Structure 1
Amino acid sequence: MSSYLRPAVAPPVFRDDDGRVIKYGRRWVDSPPADSYSVSRNPERFAPLHTIADALIDHLLAEYDVEADDGIEVAADLIHPHPDVVRAVRIRPRDPACAALTFVFTGYPGILLHAGVLHDFFYPSCGCEACDEEWSAEADDLEQQVLAVVTGNYRESTRAGRPPWIESETVFPNGSSSSQSRGEDVPPERLAAAIHALTARTGAWAPWPPAPRG
């Protein structure tokens, strides 16, 4: 099985009003200026994320025993609908013990990733000037999340409550990330189906099986 390699991407360049290159990701030494919050300029800087997502999809299709659904309708996998979907691709391992992944391309541009049954991940997570996100760091996070799911390092669970608690944990080579939220933000029918799917699951989703050769 070949390893995933990020495709070559020409980094987009943007300049400020004085003609200086904007160094996204390292502009604010201290706190961001007050007028940078909730303001999104040059969102096109995230366009390479679409290229990265395409490369990840190609890698998954070539290396794993999966099926793909390519169509706007699979964006319905997202927990909450998004108004600006331009493409969506669901990658389903043939083994039901594995978590599926749905890549949703937005016109912003950005990528929304639905993993398993209950969780969505956003790239970029915000995009405002104050957050000062930069495309290659977002690509790092997207690649790491996808590859963690594929290698069986992603866990989802629910915990009893009214409404139930929803939990996830992703283990990366250099650490882990976890989240916890209340199920009241999930449509009731989606939550019920997810609880049913996760009831017998005490550990992580299984690693994806490799594609058959020969």
Structure 2
Amino acid sequence: MSSYVRPSIDAPVFRDADGEVIDYGNRWAGSPPEDTYSVETHPERFAPLHAVADALIAHLGDTYDVEVDDGAETAADLLRPAYHDVVRAVRIRPKDPASASLTLVFTAYPGISMHAGLLNDFQYPVCGCDACDSNWEGEADDLERQVLAVVTGHYRESITHGIRPWVEHSFSYPDGGGRGGRSLAQDIPAARVKAAEPILRNLPDGWAAWPPPPSSS
């Protein structure tokens, strides 16, 4: 069981034109109204994700044998530039090369982009439009679950071969659930796919758990 604990968050409250609190995550009983698509009324509701990412970085640095590089240049680990201005970027690299590294990129949106391993990026939120109605708590849940899956060795990346090669990934969670996906290899920089192939070929069971810090004795 991880010792990570989410920090206390002073969550922002937003109100609609009638002064009622907007209950993000529970606004639409059915399909959202047409005029809520591609509209982002309060993206600042995701600001707590920065505090959650800060706590995760501190936890990983204290708990595992890693190198932590805190510098905007590490945002270059993302397969594609962040959609919004980068305000901070931190790479956490385990000393064991069989373990996947993580890079957390803080954006001015505000949100978090994460590069995990070699060939996959993840965004929190994926979409902040009014129709999607996501809230910071759900996005923080996903960020924490996926970071902790990586560090405990429950993250896998692979490349399929054929006429249309795919890059696939999967997370597995302690409750027995999981999440996965894939993207066309041709949509990822070719040099990065080529460099990743021999590494991932030697990790058929996925990335290893991060090593603990050396004994202080």
**1:11-32: CA deviations, max 9, x gaps?**
1100001111000000000100
Deviation track 1:111-163 (CA, whole Å, cap 9, x = no partner) reads 01110001111101100000000001110110000000000000000011244
Q: Which residue of 2 aligns with 1:107?
A: 108
Query: Which residue type is aligned with residue 48 of structure 2?
Result: P
Residue pairs, 1:1-150, within 5 angstroms: 3-82=3-82, 83-150=84-151
1:2–1:63 CA contact under 8 A, matched in 2: no
Residue 185 of structure 2 corresponds to 183
The 3 A distance-change label for structure 1 pair 2 and 118 is closer
1:154 is matched with 155
Kindly state the Cα deviation for residue 195 of structure 1 after the two structures are TM-superposed: 1.5
Amino acid at match of 1:94: K
Letter in 2 for 1:12: P
Q: How far did 1:212 drift?
A: 2.0
1:213 positional shift? 3.5
Distance in 1 (alpha carbons) for counterparts of 2:2 and 2:158: 31
CA distance in 2, matches of 1:113, 1:162: 29
Q: Percent of aligned positions with the same letter in both sequences?
A: 60
- 2:209 counterpart residue number: 207
SS at match of 1:105: strand
Q: Helix, strand or coil: the match of 1:149?
A: helix
Task: Give TM-score scaled by structure 1 length.
Answer: 0.97
Unaligned stretches of 5+ in structure 2?
none
Q: SS of the residue aligned with 1:142? A: helix
AA aligned opposite 1:128:
C
Alignment of 1:192 onto 2:194: yes
AA at the equivalent of 1:118: L
Whole-Å separation in 2 of the counterparts to 1:120 and 1:145: 11
SS at match of 1:23: coil
| Secondary structure at the counterpart of residue 168 of structure 2 | strand
Judge which range, 178-187 or 19-28, deviates more: 178-187
Partner of 2:172, secondary structure, is strand
- Shift, 1:54, TM fit: 0.2
For structure 1, the residue ranges without an aligned partner over 5 or more in a row are: none
8 Å contact 1:156–1:169 — kept in the other structure?
A: yes
Number of equivalenced pairs: 214
Q: Which amino acid aligns with 1:6?
A: R
**CA distance, structure 2, for counterparts of residue 72 and residue 196 of structure 1:** 29
SS at match of 2:211: coil
Amino acid at match of 1:147: L
Q: In structure 2, what is the Cα distance between the partners aligned to 1:73 and 1:143?
A: 23
Q: Is the 8 A contact 1:152 1:207 kept in 2?
A: yes
